[in-house]
Amino acid sequence: MLANYAFIGIFFIAALIFPLIPLIAAWRLRPARPTATKLDTYECGLEVIGETRVQFRVQYYLYALAFVIFDVEMVFLYPWAVAYNQLGLYGLLAMTVFIVILVFGLAYEWKKGALEWV
Amino acid sequence: MTWLDIVILIVKCIVLTLAATTMFAYFTLFERRLLARLQNRVGPNRAGAIPLPGGQRILGGWLQPAADAVKLFFKEDVVPVMADKWVYIMAPGFAVIPALIIWVAIPLGYWPDGAGGNLLQLAEIDVAILYLLAVTSVGVYGIAIAGWASNNKYSMLGGIRATAQVISYELALGLAVLGVVMQAQSFRTDTIVDAQTTLWYIVPQFLGFVIFLVASTAEVVRAPFDLVEAEQELVGGYNTEYGSMKFALFFMSEYIKLIAMNAIAVTLFLGGWKVPGLQTLADAVTASFGANIGNAVFGLTSLGAFLLKVTVLSFVSVWVRATLPRVRYDQLMDLGWKVLLPLALINVALTAIVNVILPDNIWISGIVLFVLGLATLIGATILSRPKYTSSQVTMVKNNARS
């Protein structure tokens, strides 16, 4: 059975080699006549103003933080999901408490406006 | 493991890679023709047309993907001076590899051989569902890295948008899949397919299926959720600075991922390679032509049924692209966090409660879940309709008066 994980590894190597073939072939085949204008950054034909790596909206971070919480919740739900029928009513109630706490967190976040895109 | 096994394995890897690439190539043609039809155009119909004696030309357009590939091979490729050169070159690879390795854990069919039989799946791993979820979300790294390495404001914005969008929809996607795992009580894709022999999971997990379809469309950043490459605002988004084969690789990763997502949806909700009457057909063929041909018919029919189901879902993807306008970014985030995530949690809760309380009859619990899911979906649709506040209405009226 463990050999199946090795198959993934072997296919990963195949997938690693695969994009190299067209890239190398295209590199050999295509013309290369670069000029200063061609090599410039394309921003709709205007001259580039300022840095690219500037500050961006804080909302992205809020979503990322909320994501981490709920993704961890999901990770906890998965092992429960394969066995919840054997755990019976007790398992169901325990998981309900867990989910309710997190749903409360989501509702709080929603109320606080962390999920608003302003 | 003998040498023969290793050779067979390598051949399997090559076949799977080439199959994915071919599917991508013909999916682009399928999409272009279908989009053209949906917009009352003709679409690519010239390349490779075969002239018949009567002056008619048939099969026009079947060489179009090859022509596109040749064109892209001969395009000049420039690396912008501002770009982070090696990261810029590696980014398409980061995008393609996850898109390809999704395919190892999807059972494409079943080839019986008397003793157990062969699942047409490269790696039969126990945690296939977790693997699929992990690999589909790794795909965003290619986009994020490309956006960062290009050192272009449009690319950067596209990359950031993609990251936020993919992580937001990953939650709904994962919770929708959780419903299926709860039904089948297994992480193995082949067990999940086997569990759907009597009833496909689209019935008990109807709500999950709808959530999965929406979330997977967003996960592969496709219309109407393609804000990552919204032409009107971001030129080309993360691939603005990419050309030639590097662009082709991004394009390819996007489409292979889309087809893979549809294949996952088929495996989880539409019974995978199973089709009613398959065993009867194989038995009939076995009776008249012998076991080998019977097994071959079973294998090829299951593979064909799987591909047919994937094609149906691909048709839906193109149809959605042709029908729905692109959403705004705040609408996108609201849909993910305020509609799909609560709905997915409700789906998990419904599945758990119904399966624990109701008797162990697949039909009763299935139909109860279907009705509950449909009711939830209708309720959510009514609740999340856009509301027009009275202040907006009066403003228009005042303007009209003055």
Nearest CB to B345 within list A99, A115, A117: A99
Query: Mean pLDDT over all residues of chain B?
Result: 84
Residues on chain B touching A63 (C-beta within 8 angstroms): 164, 167-168, 333, 337
For residues B371 and B375, give the distance between their C-alpha atoms in angstroms, rounded to a whole number: 6
**Cα–chain center distance at A19:** 22
Nearest CB to B181 within list A30, A82, A116: A82
Residues on chain B touching A23 (C-beta within 8 angstroms): 89, 92-93, 245-246, 249
Contact A41 B334 (CB under 8 A): no
Cβ-Cβ contacts under 8 Å for A75 (sequence gap 6 or more): none
How close B236 gets to chain A, by Cα (Å)? 11
Nearest chain B alpha carbon to A37: B80
Contact B80 A25 (CB under 8 A): no
Q: Identify whether the C-beta of residue B32 lies closer than 8 Å to the C-beta of residue B44.
A: yes
* Chain A stretch 42-81, residues whose beta carbon is closer than 8 A to a beta carbon of chain B: 42-44, 48, 52-53, 56, 60, 63-64, 66-67, 70-71, 74, 77-78, 81
Q: Which of B24, B191, B224, B212 minimizes the C-alpha distance to B119?
A: B191
Q: What tens digit of pLDDT does each residue of B26-55 get?
A: 899 999 989 998 988 888 888 877 778 877
Q: Which residue has the tokens 């390495």?
A: B149
Cβ-Cβ contacts under 8 Å for B328 (sequence gap 6 or more): none
Give the mean model confidence (pLDDT) for residues A86-101.
83
Q: What are phi and psi of B118, to 5 degrees?
A: -110, 125
How close A65 gets to chain B, by Cα (Å)? 10
Give the mean model confidence (pLDDT) for residues A12-28.
85
Query: Mean pLDDT over all residues of chain A?
Result: 82
Per-residue buried b or exposed e for B205-227, using 16+ beta carbons within 10 Å of the residue's own CB: bbbbbbbbbbbbbbbbbbbbbbb
3-state SS of chain A is: CCHHHHHHHHHHHHHHHHHHHHHHHHHHHCCCCCCCCCCCCCCCCCCCCCCCCCCCCCHHHHHHHHHHHHHHHHHHHHHHHCCHHHHHHHHHHHHHHHHHHHHHHHHHHHHHCCCCCC
> For residue A82, what pLDDT band results from cuts at 50, 70 and 90?
confident
Q: What tens digit of pLDDT does each residue of B4-31 get?
A: 878 888 888 888 888 888 889 889 999 9
Q: What is the pLDDT of residue B114?
A: 67
**Residue ranges of chain B with per-residue pLDDT less than 50:** none
Query: CA separation (Å) from B61 to B36, B44, B48, B96?
Result: 13, 5, 6, 26
Q: Which of B136, B137, B160 minimizes the C-alpha distance to B147?
A: B160
For the whole model, what pTM was predicted? 0.88
Q: What is the pLDDT of residue B316?
A: 92
Helices A84-112, A59-81: inter-axial angle, 10-degree rounding: 170
Q: What tens digit of pLDDT does each residue of B339-366 get?
A: 888 899 889 888 888 887 776 777 888 8
Contact B330/A at CB under 8 A: yes
Q: What is the pLDDT of residue B81?
A: 81
How close B32 gets to chain A, by Cα (Å)? 23
Query: How would you classify the pairing of strands B57-58 and B110-111?
Result: unpaired
For residues B47 and B65, give the distance between their C-alpha atoms in angstroms, rounded to a whole number: 9
Q: What is the pLDDT of residue B389?
A: 62
Nearest CB to A56 within list B82, B104, B160: B160
* Chain A stretch 25-44, residues whose beta carbon is closer than 8 A to a beta carbon of chain B: 25-27, 29-34, 38-44
Q: What are phi and psi of A31, to 5 degrees?
A: -75, 155
